[in-house]
Amino acid sequence: MSPNTNHISNSYLDDMVIPLFKVKPIYTIKEVSEIIKEKPYVIRFWESEFKEIIKPMRGRGNRRLYRKSDIETILQIKHLLKVKKFTIRGAKKIFKLKDSREIIKEEVLTPTQADKLRFLTEQVRLLIDEIERLKHNLLNFND
């Protein structure tokens, strides 16, 4: 999967986090924890505080299963609480505003930062592709 470097994605998650992890439709709380660099109990707490916003699916044994859109919402909450220093109450008000998700996304990175991040993300993708190619060659070499 080779990304088009001329394309500017509207997804904060696509450009910033997911390229470093295996892209898939559903993630466990442990995987989300690794992606967003927060402990699972923090995610569960945010889920309890933002019930109307974070609604993971439930799997076998009532395990939480998160879609990409859920992770993106959690990242937006993290940004409001940790970067913008909103209280939980203040963050809830932001989410009630019309088009709040788009407002939050626009504030996350400056255009220069986004360009640098896209470049670095592409470099990481190329390195991952090269590692996969080398692994494949090594496996075939031993046969």
Structure tokens at 42: 């923090």
Residue 133 has what pLDDT? 87
- Residue 5 above 60 pLDDT? no
- Phi, then psi, of 56 in degrees rounded to 5: -70, 155
pLDDT confidence tier of residue 3, bands split at 50, 70 and 90: very low
Q: How far is residue 52's CA from residue 94's CA, in Å, rounded to a whole number?
A: 13
More confident site: 32 or 19: 32
The structural domains of the chain, with segments of one domain joined by +, span: 12-107, 109-143
What pLDDT sits at residue 140?
83
Closest CA to 99 of 5, 6, 10: 10
Q: Name the CATH topology of 12-107.
A: Multidrug-efflux Transporter Regulator; Chain: A; Domain 2 (1.10.1660)
Asked whether the predicted pLDDT for residue 94 surpasses 50, the reply is yes
What is the residue type of 112?
Answer: T
The pLDDT value given to residue 87: 92
Q: pTM score, two decimals?
A: 0.56
Return mean pLDDT, the chain: 78
